[in-house]
């Protein structure tokens, strides 16, 4: 099913709405959608509706909105604080995190992150990452568009640890395992912050600072995972224990 986001609009059943300009070319020329074709339209905030194309032209594509779709959002709001990694690995991390139901992604700089190339590059990257998040959300049919925040410094990440239950996977942690922690009785977790290090890992001083700020360090098993694997693994584990990846019950 073709999936489109129309942000900043209330999607009302029975109303006709136009696809955003940037999607017209894709809908009309690439997908060759025509009147009568079924699509899904989401508002990016968590609501989606079935739709039927009523007009498809090079200038305008109109959709008649129908039934509301069941939400595909986890009851657990997962924020992934992801240290910057090399090349286009961040694209992969974003795609997988969005598919696994992450609520928000905060890229941040650690001592071992690749050097930054200035504000303009950062802005370009943010646009690119947001577009990756949008296509991943459309592909997995999420009506909510996860936010990608601007790259921030380690110090500002530290100041956010106290806002929420915070877990930091660290390959040198020997005692506390994430698996054990997730099996413990816990107060209904509604949100969790996850902190994943870069290719070279967190420096010990960074781990100490995170722990001092209130984060719990955990290991993810005996193998050292790449940053992109660790991010997907830790999100999967918390979503399975506290969120909606359990595969239990009915799936609408």
Give dist(CA 18, CA 57) in Å, integer.
Answer: 11
The answer to the question of residue 106 lying near ligand SAH (CB under 6 A) is no
Q: How far is the CB of 239 from ligand SAH (least distance, A)?
A: 17
Q: How far is the CB of 141 from ligand SAH (least distance, A)?
A: 29
Stretches 5-13, 14-22, 159-167, 200-208: which one binds ligand SAH (CB under 6 A)? 200-208
Q: Which two tokens stand for residue 193?
A: 């912050």
The answer to the question of residue 224 lying near ligand SAH (CB under 6 A) is yes
Residue nearest to ligand SAH (CB): 197
Planar angle of CA 147, 69, 78, nearest 5 degrees = 30
| Bridge partners of residue 52, in order along the sequence | 38, 64
Stretches 19-27, 32-40, 42-50, 218-226: which one binds ligand SAH (CB under 6 A)? 218-226
Stretches 90-98, 198-206, 208-216, 242-250: which one binds ligand SAH (CB under 6 A)? 198-206
Q: How far is the CB of 202 from ligand SAH (least distance, A)?
A: 5
Give 116-122's long-range contacts (Cβ < 8 A, gap of 24+): 116/84, 116/151, 122/150, 122/151
The answer to the question of residue 81 lying near ligand SAH (CB under 6 A) is no
Kindly provide the b/e burial profile for residues 118-156, where b requires at least 16 CB atoms within 10 angstroms of the residue's own CB: eeeeeeebeeebeebbbebbbeeebbbbbebeebeebee
Stretches 23-31, 131-139, 144-152, 164-172: which one binds ligand SAH (CB under 6 A)? 164-172
> Which of 20, 66, 111, 200 contacts ligand SAH by CB under 6 A?
200
Give dist(CA 75, CA 239) in Å, integer.
Answer: 9
Q: Which two tokens stand for residue 120?
A: 């303009």
**How many positions of this chain bind ligand SAH (CB under 6 A)?**
16
Rg of the chain's alpha carbons, rounded to an integer?
A: 20
The answer to the question of residue 107 lying near ligand SAH (CB under 6 A) is no
Give dist(CA 92, CA 103) in Å, integer.
Answer: 16
> Which of 45, 225, 240, 245 contacts ligand SAH by CB under 6 A?
225
Q: How far is the CB of 200 from ligand SAH (least distance, A)?
A: 5
Q: Which two tokens stand for residue 9?
A: 């609009």
Binding site for ligand SAH (CB under 6 A): 169-171, 196-197, 200-202, 219-221, 223-225, 227, 230
């Amino acid at each position: 099913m073709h999936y489109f986001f129309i942000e900043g609009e209330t999607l009302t059943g029975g109303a006709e709405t136009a696809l955003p300009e940037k999607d017209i070319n894709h809908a009309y020329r690439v997908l060759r959608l025509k009147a009568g074709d079924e699509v899904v339209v989401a508002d990016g905030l968590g609501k989606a509706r079935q739709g039927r194309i009523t007009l498809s032209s090079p200038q305008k594509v109109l959709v008649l909105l129908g039934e509301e779709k069941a939400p595909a959002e986890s009851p657990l709001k997962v924020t992934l604080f992801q240290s910057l990694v090399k090349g286009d690995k961040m694209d992969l991390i974003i795609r997988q995190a969005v598919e696994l139901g992450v609520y928000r992604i905060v890229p941040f700089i650690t001592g071992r992150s690749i050097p930054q190339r200035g504000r303009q590059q950062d802005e370009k990257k943010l646009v690119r990452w947001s577009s990756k998040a949008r296509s991943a959300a459309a592909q997995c049919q999420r009506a909510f568009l996860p936010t990608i925040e601007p790259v921030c410094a380690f110090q500002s990440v530290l100041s956010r640890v106290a806002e929420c239950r915070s877990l930091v996977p660290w390959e040198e942690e020997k005692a506390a395992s994430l698996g054990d922690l997730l099996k413990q009785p816990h107060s209904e977790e509604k949100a969790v912050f996850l902190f994943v290090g870069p290719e070279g890992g967190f420096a010990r001083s960074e781990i100490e600072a995170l722990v001092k700020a209130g984060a719990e360090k955990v290991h993810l098993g005996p193998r050292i995972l790449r940053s992109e694997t660790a991010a997907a693994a830790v999100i999967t584990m918390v979503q399975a224990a506290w969120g909606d990846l359990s595969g239990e019950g009915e799936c609408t």
